[in-house]
Amino acid sequence: MELQKIIIKYQNKNLNIPIIVEGINDIKSLKKIHFPGKIININRGKSLYNFSEYISNNYNNVILLTDFDKKGIFLKNKIKVYLNSMDINVDLKLWDYIKNNCHINDVESMPALLDNNTI
């Protein structure tokens, strides 16, 4: 039940704040569970620094939701440092909650995790 409340909270936040994910399949997964707003994938052929500059030129706040594996943790930490240095507010609360409570390794697993809940 707590997960459902958090998902609804972030669906509402996503109306105004973009979510950053690793790839296209992550975007599809979030759309499948009704995230209504802008979702941006990191894998655009740019360096992480250039990607972060693009974000800083277009947004003041972002929700960062990389995968929960070793690579995702690396990307989360690197992008957070870059964006914070560019005065961008990075929300990691959804990432932290899922990492610590849901036992999944990637964003693509979120729809299956929520199959037993009505969102």
**pLDDT tens, position by position, 100-113:** 999 899 999 999 98
Give, rounded to a whole angstrom, the gap between the first and last alpha carbons of the chain.
10
Residue 1 pLDDT exceeds 70: no
In a domain, 36, yes or no: yes
| Number of domains making up the chain | 1
In a domain, 30, yes or no: yes
In a domain, 92, yes or no: yes
Residue 115 pLDDT exceeds 80: no
Mean pLDDT of 75-87: 98
In a domain, 71, yes or no: yes
In DSSP terms, which residues pair with 62 in a beta bridge? 90
Domain extent for 41: 2-113
Residue 55 pLDDT exceeds 60: yes
What is the pLDDT of the chain when averaged over all its residues? 94
Show the tokens assigned to 83: 């964006």
At residue 23, the 3 state secondary structure works out as coil
In a domain, 106, yes or no: yes
User: For residue 88, what is the domain's CATH number?
Assistant: 3.40.1360.10
Residue 113's pLDDT is 87
**Do residues 111 and 29 touch, judged by C-beta distance below 8 A?**
yes
In a domain, 102, yes or no: yes
